[in-house]
Chains A and B, each alone.
Chain A
Amino acid sequence: MTTTLRKKIDYVSPSRQRWMGGIQMALALGIWAIFSRSLETGTFTTFVMTPGGSEFELPNWIFSTLPTLNTFAMIAFAFGAYQFIKGFGKRTNLILSIVVGLFVFSFLSWATAEKSINLAGLLKGTMVRAVPIALGAFAAMINERAGIVNIAIEGKMLAGALVSVLIGSLTNLWIGLIAAIIVGGLLAWVHGILSIKYKTDQIISSTVILIFATGLTSFVSARFLQKYQHLNSSGIFHSFPIPILSEIPFFGPILFDHNIFVYAMYFFLFFLYFALFQTRWGLRLRSVGEHPKAADTLGIDVNKTRYMAVILSGMMGGFAGAYFTLGSVGRFDEVMTAGRGFIGLAAMIFGNWSPFGSFGAGLLFGFADSLASKLAILGVNISSEFLLMTPYIATMIVLAGVVGRGQMPAASGQPYEKE
């Protein structure tokens, strides 16, 4: 059953079509004016195609920078001009993302001119850095699809990170991971009680959870973890290549040589897509988020469904939090999530409240993150801070409706009272 309550956005208004065309042409000119013109002829860009530590060596990819950039500029300009004059219709956003992709690739080639960068390593880093963002986006999505607004993912992540390292140090990694999921669920349960039972403003109730979790994790960390260092060294889940899949040239090591958190991200991507859009359970959950009264009339217990969604989302948040400790450094530091929960929220909005969209946005933001850490190595005269700003600015642009209005659940944020 593929019934969807949401209308497709096919129509592109003439003014938006012109705007998109203009933006694409501007990007094309940007490639030419900023990148091409500052290069001399005969420069070469070297991309290393094998991530560090991989057994399957690929030859480096070396190409002449200037002709490539000029070709890209021309392709992008052609797309932009066609968009401006005739328009691509429902493929507008696809074309936009292709042009943006060309721009990013041009930037990378330009920055690497006469140097070399490990492209495979960059992309592999992208997958890793996308994990907390994508999982956070999934957590936010489960919530919002059921009509509960949640800005506390960051708090659930922190709680998950702390508890997983505590329990993981005392027992083993797997029990630590389960503890993180449980504590995320518990925090979410409190959020649910405040939002559903007491009908507190959902933004305020999630702010409370956020402040509480930040305070409590920092408190416990400062009071115990400095004194008892052995409670703060859980070790980490090591990465293991998936047989056969990881032997695919180029993509294999990038996608299939990770620890369980990256594989879990793949799993949840398909699982959530299936569960939310192909099952009765998902239909009910979404209907509660879109039109709770109609759902209630059909015999769906709105508040029970919402409790379930909130708790599941909290468990996802706790799991995402465990990534920071068990999946990355093996120890807890105060406020170590550093805003990843909020970027996850942004990724969900950017990805239009859908699993694949959220995942895509997570990859995009993960790429920005990964690239920011490499910029210093390349010696480009652009501060990584500006690159790190892009997720936030991109989200604001999407939210303002510049690249098409998002389709949010209609009843998101509204408590439901049975009459």
Chain B
Amino acid sequence: MTNKEKESKNNKSSISVFFDEVSRSSWLVPILAIFSGLLVGGLIVMFTTDEMYILIGDGQIFEGLSLGFRAMVDSFVALFTGSFGSPTKIIAALQSGDDLLIRRAFNPFLESFVASTPYIFAGLAVALGFKTGLFNIGAEGQLFMGAIFSVWVGFAVKGLPAIIHIPLALLAGALGGAIWGFIPGWLKAKTGAHEVINTIMMNYVAFRLSEYLLRGPLMRPETFTPVSPMILESAELPRFFESPIRFHLGFFIALFVAWLVYWFMFKTKWGFDLRTVGANPRAAKYAGMNIVRSTILAMVLSGALAGLAGANEVLGVNHNLALAFSSGYGFDAIALALLGKSHPFGVVLSAILFGFLRNGAIRMQIVGIPVDIITIIQAMVIIFIAAPAIVRSIYRLKEPKESDEQTFVTSWGAN
């Protein structure tokens, strides 16, 4: 590499170089990464089956291994039926013609989309940051703030028709997230303080704040548990089917927002500015783009998207706010933004995949596999995505042209 090339690479922002590299690899890498992640997850299930070791200890090595293998197959079957629904149940329900049975049979499939919805919003939040060269690790905190704001509008603003109340509550959620994104964005733009540390810190401030609010001002009056009041019916996102199906309008709003993000990032001047700042801040500066504005705007939008994820959960699924209600959507969002190559449509696809995994994992718990297996699978997927060289060497893929594994991270503080 000549010095000149090297220099131009140094000028690029950290994450975008990394992204160039990830995106240049073919779509085969994500697919193989998912496959490898599932395989590793299956092997972990197999090798943590305690009965297997008892049998092997007794000298029945083959029986032991086949038992472990069966545990792995069982867990995959549970994952499948948990996320898609069991085919036999669906057929039986259709034959019986009973409404409730049919709804129950199709519920797992639709519930997977319910689980995908916050993933879409949170994934878009992280992806938009990545495209602008920012690493928003604070989606979780922004999600909490969004949930707090929207639940407040949901129960405290009374007497509005649904057509006004729902958008208002959603916007409040976006606002809450946007404020939580604005602070690290502003600090980054004005002082150079690294957004990764600041968003982590903001996460914990948001957790503590939600604890305080749920034990104090937002606590449901007649109870002593840290839960907010139920939101009014006029703020609930409409559901399409009767109980137990929770599939609600939020999924389509998420798809629309994904399209909106696509349009904004790829079809408008502002989006072009953001992407240029992400790809090469120095070039963007010489082209007369306002880097301070772009950085703040990107963090505000990213926060707003994450806030929508929280609002969606509150308005569409839970209808109230409890402590620690999110269980890690914000961190999973990093994985799926990487998996979706930070493109809005890629994010939607990975979010649906993650939603199916998350929903299927609940069924896996019945066969004794803790739901945390999903977290492990996700970590493996990111490893394979983030270091494509590993996948390429396992599956003997060809190196992409002008391959360059060099990546740069700017550091915590000022430049």
Interface set of A (CB-CB < 8 Å, partner B): 149, 151, 194, 198-205, 207-208, 210-212, 214-216, 218-220, 222-224, 227, 339, 342, 345-346, 349, 383, 385-386, 388-389, 392-393, 395-396, 399-401, 405-406, 408-409, 412-415, 417
Contact = CB atoms under 8 A, between A and B. Distances in A.
Interface-centre pick from A194, A224, A400 (highest chain B CB count, 10 A): A400
Given A198-B405, A199-B407, A392 B187 contact: no
Interface of B: 14-15, 18, 44, 48, 50, 135, 137, 187, 191-194, 196-198, 200-202, 204-205, 208-209, 211-212, 215-216, 331, 334-335, 338, 368-376, 378-380, 382-383, 386-387, 389-390, 405-414
A149 B204 contact: no
A346 B197 CA distance: 8
Given A399-B413, A415-B408, A212 B370 contact: no
Given A342-B204, A346-B201, 10 more contacts: A149-B412, A151-B196, A201-B14, A211-B335, A214-B375, A219-B44, A349-B413, A393-B205, A413-B410, A414-B411
Contacts of B378: 211, 215
Contact of B411 (A385, A386, A405, A408): A408
A314 B137 CA distance: 22
B408 A400 contact: no
A198 B205 contact: no
A401 B193 contact: yes
A200 B407 contact: yes
A216 B201 contact: no
A405 B411 CA distance: 14
Given A201-B18, A224-B48, A413-B408, A392 B379 contact: no
Given A214-B375, A400-B193, A202 B412 contact: no
A417 B372 CA distance: 37
A110 to B, nearest CB: 21
Given A149-B412, A201-B407, A401 B370 contact: no
A414 B216 contact: no
Could you say which of A204, A210, A214, A393 has the most chain B C-beta atoms within 10 Å of its C-beta?
A204
B375 A203 contact: no
B205 A204 contact: no
Contact of A389 (B204, B371, B382, B386): B204
23 contacts: A151-B200, A198-B405, A199-B405, A200-B407, A201-B14, A201-B409, A205-B387, A207-B382, A208-B382, A208-B383, A212-B383, A215-B376, A218-B370, A345-B200, A385-B212, A393-B201, A396-B197, A399-B198, A401-B192, A408-B412, A414-B411, A415-B407, A417-B406
A162 B387 CA distance: 28
B213 to A, nearest CB: 9
Contacts of B137: 151, 203, 207
A406 B375 contact: no
Contacts of B334: 204, 207
A149 B411 contact: yes
A222 to B, nearest CB: 4
A349 B412 contact: yes
Main secondary structure of the interface of B (DSSP, over half): helix
Given A208-B382, A389-B209, A414-B409, A198 B390 contact: yes
Nearest to A414: B408
Contact of B197 (A200, A219, A386, A399): A399
Contacts of A417: 406
B372 A383 contact: no
A211 B187 contact: no
Contacts of A392: 201-202, 204-205
A216 B382 CA distance: 15
Among all A-B residue pairs, the 4 with the closest Cβ atoms: A215-B375, A222-B370, A212-B379, A413-B409
A204 B369 CA distance: 27
A346 B199 CA distance: 12
Contacts of A212: 375-376, 379-380, 383
A399 B390 contact: no
Contacts of B201: 342, 346, 392-393, 395-396
Contacts of A201: 14-15, 18, 386, 407, 409
B405 A412 contact: no
A395 B232 CA distance: 39
A200 to B, nearest CB: 5
Contact of B205 (A224, A389, A400): A389
A401 B216 CA distance: 34
Contact of B331 (A211, A349, A400): A211
Contact of A218 (B187, B215, B372): B372
A395 B405 CA distance: 33
A211 B413 contact: no
B212 A396 contact: no
Given A214-B375, A389-B209, A406 B405 contact: no
**Max chain A Cβ within 10 angstroms of own Cβ: one of B18, B198, B338, B386:** B386
A223 B51 CA distance: 12
A22 to B, nearest CB: 18
A395 B197 contact: yes
B34 to A, nearest CB: 15
A211 B379 contact: yes
Contacts of B209: 385, 389
A386 B205 CA distance: 9
A212 B334 CA distance: 13
Contact of B370 (A223, A386, A389): A223
A231 to B, nearest CB: 11
B193 A204 contact: no
A212 B412 CA distance: 23
Given A223-B48, A399-B197, A204 B386 contact: yes
B135 A203 contact: yes
A204 B382 contact: yes
Q: Which of A211, A393, A414 has the most CB of B within 10 A?
A: A211
